[in-house]
Every structure is written in structure tokens, then in C-alpha cells.
Structure 1
Amino acid sequence: MTDHLVGGYDLVIFDLDGVVYLIDKPIAGAAEAVERLRADGVTVAYATNNASRRAADVAALLTGMGVSAEPAEVLTSAGAAAALLAERLPAGSPVLVVGADALRDEVREAGLDPVLSAEDAPVAVVQGYGPEVGWKALAEAALAVRAGATWFATNTDRTLPSPRGPLPGNGSLIAVLRTALDRDPDVVVGKPQPGIFTAAAKLSGSERPLVVGDRLDTDIQGAVTAGMPSLLVLTGVSGPADLLAAPPDRRPTYVATDLSALFRPAEDARLPAPGSPAIGWRVTRDGGRATLDGSGDPVDALRLLCGVTWDGVSPSALTGGSPEATRLLSSWNL
């Protein structure tokens, strides 16, 4: 596999929502990609900001979808948050948990006392996504933080990908408290913080990890912060327009339609793409504007255009010079 993109790496760290599955539906080709990696001796890990499931539950969910996984391969923001709380607080400290039972269980197993009310005098509030989180829990959290509790957030993802489109994520729930309290959380644990990625690399003994994600503001920014190369797949949240406008700290090393790119040459996915007649597209720049001509694979066009937008051309200043290019830019809402 030395001629494949993944051939340069000894660990692939997969995000889950939007990369391997959408809520509870596997993404086409994900199981086959994981099994091929395992057959070729590449170590696999899973890193998710979703705090509604524990590692064992995530592994069971993946296995039920045909994606092989062991609990030890799964790192969740719930587990990471509980571990951090245990480092910073005395054993038995009361912690108000806003989120799913999985987060509450992680806090309890970390040696702390999960509580539900501000009247229990919690020294910390930990907030993670849970489909049943409502006003009452958020109100108790607001009261506890105002009383001096340290506010921990498992992650700040604004949305969760789903087959029906993006749904409100933990970041949206945090925004409720942010509005009520007029302040940000004291600590954010999950991506884009690099801790989950560096922990995955340390646990596997990896020297050359690759991060695969679908979100620029969490997966890719976290990889950049951790100093790790990354692959953005276009099966989840971030799309072509987002990539073209990405600031330097959210720019992946590679981009591809899906996980099959792991088994093709790295240069077919590298960003930005060098100009080549074989690509079928060409980009002509005129000052602050650029024109896309030709036809071919949309991802190749995207890679070429990143070369000019990342060099100062606004995505809104891109135009199509051929019918195919015009249609493609329109499909990207440009």
C-alpha cells in the first residue's frame, strides 16, 4: 500500500458522525475501508465529540453496523471530560451533569458524584449532548455556574449530521447557557482541542497518525492544533464552500469525496492541487478574481480552487468559464 495515501501513516483516527455513520446509519463504504485497513496492518482508532454514548456502547454500535471496533479503540469527549474532572477535583466532589446517561456514568466511574440540582452545591458543571436535555437541566446549570461552579463543555459542535440534514448539537445547547450567563464555558474538552487525537496516538504508539473527519471547525482544526495531517471527507457537515473559505488553522492536508481516497495515490487528494492537464480543469486568476474552466472530477476542481482562494481570492469572486464549471460552482452555492 506504499503507493496509497494511507501508506504513509501507521494510525488512522476516524471521526464518527459524518465519516463512519450518520446518527445510526452507516455511510457507504465505511465498513469496507476499516476492514481493508486492518487487513493491511494499519491501526485504527475512533475519536468522537458525541458525549451521548460510552466507548463500549460506541464499539457495539459500530460492530452492529458491520464496522469492527473494540472499546479500547474508541475515545469519546464524555470519557475525556470525566478524566479531566477527576484530575482537577477531589474524589467524591459533586458535579452537575447536563447530558445523557453516558456522561453521568463516566463522571461516576471517575470517582465523582453526579448530581442534578444546583441545590446540591456542585463544584463543577459538565455539559454534553443528550437528546433529552431540556430547559430544567439548563436552568439548574445556569444557577450552578452563577453560584461559582466551573463550567466544563464536552464539545461545542453546533450541529450533528443526520440523513435528514444537520440537527442541533451540543454547541447549540451551550449557546442557550452562553446567552443566559453572558459568558463562555471555562473549559472545552473535545475537538478542536487536540487532546483526544494526541491520546489516541499515545495509546497506539503511533509516530505517523492521520486524522479523518468531516468538520473543519472540530476535526480538522483539532488535527492542525495537534500537528497531525488530516483528510476531509465530504460525507458530513463541511462542504466545498466551507473548504474554499477555510482559514489556515482549519485547512486539511487532503480532501476527498469519501473514505475510498485512503486507497488511492496521495497526490489525488492533496491540497491544494497543482495545475495539470490530466485533471481536466484549469483556473485562471486575474487579480482578485478567478475563473474555472474545463470539466472533470468535482474534487479536482475544488483542490485547484483552494490554491487561489487560500491565496487571497474570495470564494464569491470565482466564476465559471465553461458550462460544467458554472454548474459546479452553482451546486456549491457560489
Structure 2
Amino acid sequence: MSRQSRTRPAGSGRSLHQAYDTALLDLDGVVYAGGQAIAHAVPALGTARADGMRLAYVTNNALRTPGAVAEHLTELGIPTAADDVITSAQAVARLIADQVPAGARVLVIGGEGLRVALRERGLVPVESADDDPAAVVQGYGGPDLPWGRFAEASYAVARGVPWFASNTDLTIPGARGIAPGNGAAVQVVRIATGAEPQVAGKPLPPMHRETILRTGAERPLVVGDRLDTDIEGAFNGDVDSLLVLTGVTDAALLLTAEPPHRPTYVDSDLRGMLTGQPEVTAAGAGFRCGDWTAQARDGVLELAGPSGDGGDGGDAMDGLRALCAAAWTYAGEGSCTLDAGKALARLGL
């Protein structure tokens, strides 16, 4: 089944950490939230690594350096080297270096991660639009980034200086909830200038290229929590993906996914890397996974449980996989608009 026509989650007779050589893991909402490890993440990753899977951490967050991210992961109990971390700052720095002279000045609107990545490419970070920059780069700078930084970017961009963005994620998950991401900050400069930046981060090709160049992965599995970055990035890179429900995407949003946002596999958390994935099969007018059967009928998604009457036994993820098949098949190349509220409530999702 091609990714372009995916109408149901795939099955795997082998555990995912054995079927793929490298996990390309998102961080926020997958490994940690608000700096604290997500439940089950540390032991799951430890088992995958011990069994020979390479773990690479791929983040659109350009604030911290790879070394700082690696140190944080190691403190959480996930031994990590700086070379195991790939950031959108690195991807955008390579994109800029391909277009400006060696040693060029770049106006930085963001954190230390951007500055380190630019220096790695032989570029010189500067702080003012009056420093004659050859480019402007914008990345997530944390909640305390001064408002005046957006003005500096706007002055330079309005003069025609090429503008780059590490990513355009509108939101970022944290311990207290969902906060504005770099995409919200990019929108400020877009409003002020009417310009459009070149974007490097997920789901676009520069980030996938950076990841493959740095990891050398041959059979990668993208693991993420966002449909519009992680899963679409895997789709664009023509690689398989695992969506975990520990971050931005919930079950209701997953059911509405259009083809580029439909993951290969779905699981509740990173323990899904350590198991096979059950097959979703056609069953009459609907689809079966495990003890659950789902179908689209009369404007709603219906779910029948192990007893055939919608009982509450069985694995909730199997029920969700069956619902995905019913929703995605109904929607075809579009987005499912059927009511799934009762079905998801039965699963506790």
C-alpha cells in the first residue's frame, strides 16, 4: 500500500525496533514535555537501544544546542551524545550556507542553538539589522525573547534581505499546556513585511536531508506526535512513521487526517516501538483490529466491541486503529467529517 493511498494503519509482525535500523524521534511531546520525561519513554528507549536500534533525536526546536539537548536527555536517563541530536537550526544553517558567501553575516532572531549551528557552517551571527546581514534567520527563542527582536528582523527583511525560518510550528507543548511556537513568531514578521521565509524544518525536505546526512539511516522510522510536522515529514521523505498520542495529536484529530498526515503505525506511547503492530482487516462493511470492529454509517463512526454490542473490553489502541481505517477509507483523499464522539468515548480517548 502506497503512502499516497493509505486508508488504514499498517501491521508489522516484527517489533518496530527490530524492523527498522534507526528511530528518528521527535522530542517535545514524544520523549519529554516541559523538560520532564513522558511516562514509559526512558525504559522503552533503553530497551530499543540495547537491542541495537540507533536512536536519533530530531527536533524542530532551534533554541538549544545539540550538546545541551544531549545533556538533558542523559540527565533524564537516556544516554545521548551531541551527534545523536539533529535540530532545525542545523538544517536552516545548511540551507543558508548554500545561498550566501562563506563568512557572511546572519541576523539571528532566536537562541543559542541557531548561533552555534551558523558558526558550524562558517557563518557569523549578528544582532542588528544595521550590521549589514546577508540573511535573516528566525527560530524559537523561548518565552522571554524580547519583542524588539521581531522589529530587527522586520527592518532587514523589508530591505530585501533573504529571510529564513528554522520551522513554522504554530505551537509547542509544555508542562502547563500548549504554548505559541516559532510559527507564531514568524507570523509577526510576515505581517510587518508581507514577505515569506524559506523554511527548513519538518515537514520540509531540508530537515529530512539534514537528518539522513547526519545519521546515515537506511531503514528509518519517524516517531512523532504531530501530524503536520513529524508525520507529513515522513510522508515527504517516503519513510514510515509511528504516531504516539503523548503530545499535540489526540485521537479525534487523527481520525480527520488527510493522506499526507496519516501515520504508518499508531500507538499510545513509545512502548509501541517495542512491539509488533496488529493488522487491520476488512470485516463486512467495516474494519476489524483485535476485538474491535468499526464502520462508517449514517453520518457517524460506529464501534463494536468484543461482545459485538460495543462493550468496553479489548485494547483501546486496536479500537482506534479500526476507527482510523473506517474514517480514512470513508474520506479517501480528503478529511473525515463523521461524528466519532461516542466511539472514542467508549475507548476512553
Calculate the TM-score normalised by the size of structure 1.
Answer: 0.89
- Corresponding residue number in structure 2 for 1:208: 219
Aligned in 2, Cα 1:203/1:174: closer, same or farther, shift over 3 Å?
closer
Give the letter for the 1:9 counterpart. Answer: Y
In structure 2, C-alpha distance between the alignment counterparts of 1:2 and 1:309, rounded to whole Å: 24
In structure 2, C-alpha distance between the alignment counterparts of 1:141 and 1:125, rounded to whole Å: 7
Give the letter for the 2:189 counterpart. Answer: L
Does 2:60 match 1:49?
A: yes
- Corresponding residue number in structure 1 for 2:195: 183
Q: CA deviation at 1:302?
A: 1.7
Picking from 257, 264, 277, the partner of 1:266 is 277
Question: What does 1:74-223 align with in structure 2 at a 5 Å threshold?
Answer: 74-131=85-142, 132-185=144-197, 187-223=198-234
Q: Please, which runs of 5 or more residues in structure 1 have no aligned partner?
A: none
Answer whether contact 1:291 1:320 (CA < 8 A) is retained: no
Q: CA deviation at 1:309?
A: 1.7
- Corresponding residue number in structure 2 for 1:20: 31
Q: CA deviation at 1:203?
A: 3.7
Question: What does 1:242-321 align with in structure 2 at a 5 Å threshold?
Answer: 242-267=253-278, 274-275=282-283, 279-286=290-297, 288-293=299-304, 294=310, 295=312, 296-312=314-330, 315-318=336-339
In structure 1, C-alpha distance between the alignment counterparts of 2:132 and 2:325, rounded to whole Å: 54
In structure 2, C-alpha distance between the alignment counterparts of 1:200 and 1:127, rounded to whole Å: 20
Give the SS at the match of 2:326: helix
Aligned in 2, Cα 1:16/1:320: closer, same or farther, shift over 3 Å?
closer
Q: Please, which runs of 5 or more residues in structure 2 have no aligned partner?
A: 1-11, 305-309
Give the SS at the match of 1:317: coil
Runs of 4+ displaced beyond 4 Å? 272-278, 313-316
Aligned in 2, Cα 1:42/1:319: closer, same or farther, shift over 3 Å?
closer
1:71-108 deviations in Å (ceiling 9; x for gaps): 11111111222222222211222211000122123223
1:245-296 deviations in Å (ceiling 9; x for gaps): 11111110001000111112222xx6x6655777332223336543223233
Aligned in 2, Cα 1:45/1:259: closer, same or farther, shift over 3 Å?
same
CA RMSD of aligned residues (A): 2.3
Q: CA deviation at 1:200?
A: 3.1
Answer whether contact 2:24 2:58 (CA < 8 A) is retained: yes
Calculate the TM-score normalised by the size of structure 2.
Answer: 0.86
1:32-69 deviations in Å (ceiling 9; x for gaps): 12211121111111111110111111111110111111
Answer whether contact 2:252 2:340 (CA < 8 A) is retained: no
Decide which moves more: 148-157 or 287-296: 287-296
In structure 1, C-alpha distance between the alignment counterparts of 2:148 and 2:340, rounded to whole Å: 50
Give the SS at the match of 2:330: coil
Q: CA deviation at 1:121?
A: 2.2
